[in-house]
Amino acid sequence: MKGRKPKDERLRLLSGNPGHRPVSDTGEPFTAGEIEKPSSLDTLASEEWDRLVERLAPILSPASGGMLLVAVSAFSQMTTADRIIQEKGLTYETTGEAGTVIRMRPEVRIRDTARTAYHRALAELGASPVAHSRVKKLPDGNQPDLPGIHRFFT
């Protein structure tokens, strides 16, 4: 991300509006909640879904389901490709007009692409070490009587 890191919302609200620019109110914050696991997941993705939901429960909202699906699908692809690479190696030989050529297995690129997608999805979900400082626990759905004021006290 280029530029300055955004100011914490509580500090931004307490410092007022020195630039007199319109302040966009994001409305009610997301609340923590149960995320429905898709039935179409394979075994690896299903196990990773359970592991991530258990560990990230305080910061996941139902809106996180899509990114969680991306993460577990990438994990499954990465693990499957890695198993094939462990069995068959990084390269294979092929014979053509130029003679015998050693080529990289397609699974190597699949694994690397899935690893990048998994890493990015985890960062979006707040599961990377850098994201730990930015991520806050979501409220549990019990909103105070005065909506909006809870931001000053959390």
**What does the pLDDT look like over 85-98, one tens digit per residue?**
999 999 999 998 88
Low-confidence ranges of the chain (pLDDT < 70): 1, 6-10, 13, 23-32, 129-154
**Confidence (pTM):** 0.67
Among left, alpha and beta (phi > 0; psi -120 to 50; other), residue 81 is alpha
Residue at 17 is within a domain: no
Residue at 121 is within a domain: yes
Please give the residue range of the domain that contains residue 77. 38-138
Number of domains in the chain: 1
Give the span between the Cα atoms of 25 and 23, in whole angstroms: 6
What is residue 90's DSSP assignment?
Answer: S
Cα dist. 74→50, 71, 91, 118, 154 in Å? 15, 5, 22, 5, 34
